[in-house]
Structure 1
C-alpha cells in the first residue's frame, strides 16, 4: 500500500527546512505513471531578488541529462555495441576502439575531459566551447585502463555520443531534444553553457563558510549535463517513461537493461541510470551536480512511482529523495554501517586511495555515502559508484569498488615524503609542468598565480595533491614508476605521464 500522505509530509519537511534557513531552496515532486501526485518547495531560486523556488522553477538538471541522451540514441537506432571509431568521424584515436555502450556505462576507461583539463591547469570555471573540449579529447594519449574492467565515472562518452547523434541526423543536439519533448509538451531544453539565457532559471549557490556564493561552470555542458527544466517537467518526463507513453514507449526497459563488466559480473550503472534497492524495492535513477546545483530522481518501476528532488544549493540530494520514497513505499531507510573506519587508506601500489569519515568514502575523489550491508560490512547507496567493503582487521578494508577487488591499508601517521619526488616534472604529451619541493609543497600548472598546494605523502613513492576551486575539491595522486617517471591520476583521469627535467627544485 502506497502512503501518499506520509510521503507528502516528508517532502514538506524537507522544503520547510529550506524556507526556514532563508537561503537557496528546491522542489520535491512525487509522481506515478499518470503524472504528478504531490509537490513541495521552499527557499529561494534567487537569493538576491527574494524569488521563491517553486516546483515549476527551471533548474540545471546536470547529469540527470544523460539518460535523455541515451533515449535519443535508442530512438535513432544507433548501434551501441559499435566502436566510437566506426560511429564518429574524427573520433579520438586513443578512444576509437571502445564500444559506444562501454563509453556510456562508465566501463570504457575514457578520461574525463573536465578532470584532464583541471590537472593541466584549466579550472572548470574557464569558458571553453564544445570544439575546444573535443580538441583536447582528440589528443588523449591513452585510456585510463582496459575497457570493461572498472566502472569509473566519465562525461567524455556522453559528449562523444552527442557528436554521433548530430552527425547522423544533421541537426543540432538542441533541436533533437526539442523534437523529443514536443509530443509530451515538456519545457525541458538543452542549454550549451552557462552564458546561454534560460527564462526563470534558478541561480546555483554554494556555501563559503557562513555565506552563500554563486556557482560557476564555464565549460560547454554537452549531452552529459546540459538539460534545464523544472521539477514538475522532469517528473512528467519520468512518468511518461514509467507508463511507456509515446514517444517513450519501450524505452525504460532498454535504458535499465543489465550491463556487465568484461568478466561477466553485473554493474549497477546502466545507460545514464543507476540501479539500486530500498529495502525490498528495486530502484532506478540518477543524480546531477554542477557548482551550486544538486539533484536526484528515483523511480520504483514495479510500484510505478518515483520522486524528483531538484535544488540550487550545493548539498546532497540523494538522501532527501530516499527519505520521501521510503515514506511512500513503507520501506526502511538504509541503516548506518556498524564498522566504518576513519582516516586515509591506500592500496599497496598504484594510485588507488580512499578517505573515510562521517559515514562516507571518497575513493580517488569520488564521494559516496556508506550504509550497512546487513552482513557486517558497508556499501554505497550508490549515487554513482558501487562500493561494497568490510574491515579486515583494524587497519585494512577489502571489497569491490567500481567492480574491481581492492585491498586498502591505513596510511601510517606522519608518512614522510619520498625523497625521489621533489623536482621539476614535465608531462611528455601535453608539456604541463609540475614543481615539487622537498618540504612537500607543490606548484601545479593550475596555480598560475603562484599559489601552492601541500602534498599528503603516501607509502611507496606516492603523494596526494589538493586542488580546491569553488565548492569542488580534486585530489590527484602522484606515483613514481619503475623507470623513474611520474604518473598523475584521479578517479576520472589517469593519463598524465611526467618526466623529470631537473633535480630537487623548490617552488
Structure 2
C-alpha cells in the first residue's frame, strides 16, 4: 500500500531544511497517473530578493531535458538505428558512422563538446552559440573509443539529434517543444542560453565556503539540457508519461526499452532515462546539473507513481528523491557499502582512474554515490554511470564501470612524476600547448592566459591535471604513448593528442 502521508512528511523535512538554512531552495512534488498528489517547497528562488521557491517556480531542468528530445524523435518516426551521417547532411565526419541510438544511449563514444572545449582552455562560462559549438565538433579528429563498448556520458549526440529534428521538420527546436507541450498545457520550454529571459526563473547558486555564489554557464543550451520548467510542470509531464495520455501515448515503453552494449550485455542507460531499482521496485528517471542547479526525477511505472526534486542549489538531488519515494513505496533505502576503499586508484595502463571518498566514487571525473550491493560489494545508484565493484585485496578493486570490466590498483602515495613527462607539448589537431615542468606542475591552456596546475603522478608515465572552475572540477589524465606522444583524457573527452616540441 502506498504511504502518501509518510512521503509527504519526508518531502516536508527536506524542504524545511532549505527554509531553515535561509539560502537557495527547491521543490519536491509527488505524483501518480492522475496528476500531482503532494507538494513541499522551501528556501529562496532568488536570495537577493527573498523570493520563495515554490512548486511553480521555473527552474533549469538541465539533462532531464534529454528524454523530451527522445520523445520528439520517436513521435517523428526518426530511424534511430540509422547512422548520424545518413540522418544529418553535415554530420561531423569523425562521428558520421555512429548510429543515432548509440549517440543517445551514451555508448557511441562521442566526445562531449563542453569537456573538449574545457580541456583546450575555453571555460564553460564562455558565451558560445550553437553554430560555433557545432563547427567545433566538425573538427573532432576521432571518437573516444569504439562505439558500443562503454557507457561514457556525452551531450554531443543530443545536440546532433536536435539538428536532425530541425532539418527533418523545417522548424526550430523551441517550436517543436512548444508543440509537444501545448496539448498538455505545460509551461516547459527551451531556452537558447542563460541570457534568454524566462519569467520567474530561479537563480542558480553554488556554495563557496560560507558564501553562496551565482552559477554561470555561457554555452548555448540544446536538446541535451536546455529545458526550463517548474517542478509542478515536470511532475504533470511525468504523470502523463505514466498514464500514456496524448500526445505521449505509448512513449514511455519506447523510451525505457532495454539497450545493450556491442557484446549483448545490458546497459542501464536508455533514451534519456536511467533504469534502476529501489528494493523490489523498478525505477526510471534522470538527473540534471548546471552550475547552480541540481535536479532529479524518478518514476515507478508499475505502481504508477513518482517524485520530482528540483533545486537551485549545487547539491545532490537523487538521494532526496529516493528518500521520498522509499517512504511512499515502503521500500528500504540502499545501505552503505561494507568495505568501501578510500583514496586514489588507477588501472595498470591507460587513462582510467578513480578516487574513493565520502561514500562515493569519481571515475575519470564522473561522480556517483556508492551503496552496498547486498553481496559484500558496492554499486552506484546510479545517477548517470553504472558502477559495480568489489574489493580484491587491500589495494585493489575490480568490476564493471560503464559496462567495461576494470581492475584498479591503489596509487602509492610517494609516486614520483615520470621523468619523460616534463617538456612542451602541442596538440596535433587543435594547436593548443601544455608545458609540464620537472617540479610536478604544468601550464595548461586556459582562456588565452594559461593555468598553472599541480600534477598528481600516477604509475606508468601518467599524471592527473586539475582544472577547477566555479563549482566544477575537471581532472584529465595525461599519459605517455609507446611512440613518445602524449594523450589527454577525461571521462567525456579523450581526443587530444600531443607531440613534444623543441
Quote the residue 2:382 is aligned against.
382
Question: 2:14 & 2:213 partners in 1: Cα distance?
Answer: 22
8 Å contact 2:24–2:43 — kept in the other structure? yes
Quote the residue 2:337 is aligned against.
337
Quote the residue 1:505 is aligned against.
none
Question: 1:429 & 1:371 partners in 2: Cα distance?
Answer: 41
Mapping of 1:90-489 within 5 angstroms? 90-446=90-446, 448-489=448-489
Question: 1:30 & 1:40 partners in 2: Cα distance?
Answer: 9
How far is 1:89 from its partner? 1.1
8 Å contact 2:445–2:451 — kept in the other structure? no
Question: 2:492 & 2:446 partners in 1: Cα distance?
Answer: 17
Question: 1:24 & 1:413 partners in 2: Cα distance?
Answer: 39
Q: 1:447 to 1:417 in 2, by over 3 A?
A: farther
SS at match of 1:202: coil
Q: 1:109 to 1:327 in 2, by over 3 A?
A: same
How far is 1:318 from its partner? 0.1
SS at match of 2:499: strand
Question: 2:488 & 2:473 partners in 1: Cα distance?
Answer: 16
Gaps of at least 5 residues in structure 1 are 503-507
Quote the residue 2:45 is aligned against.
45
Q: How many residues align?
A: 502
How far is 1:446 from its partner? 1.2
Gaps of at least 5 residues in structure 2 are none
Question: 1:88 & 1:161 partners in 2: Cα distance?
Answer: 9
Q: Deviations over 1:205-242 (max 9, x none)?
A: 00000000000000011100000000000000000000
Q: Deviations over 1:462-486 (max 9, x none)?
A: 0000100000000000000000000
Question: 2:207 & 2:423 partners in 1: Cα distance?
Answer: 36
8 Å contact 2:343–2:355 — kept in the other structure? yes
SS at match of 1:108: coil
Question: 1:413 & 1:96 partners in 2: Cα distance?
Answer: 43
Q: Give the TM-score normalised by the residue count of structure 2.
A: 1.00
SS at match of 1:452: strand
How far is 1:447 from its partner? 5.8
8 Å contact 2:418–2:461 — kept in the other structure? yes
Q: What's the RMSD between the two structures over aligned residues?
A: 0.5
How far is 1:140 from its partner? 0.4
Question: 2:116 & 2:132 partners in 1: Cα distance?
Answer: 13
How far is 1:450 from its partner? 4.5
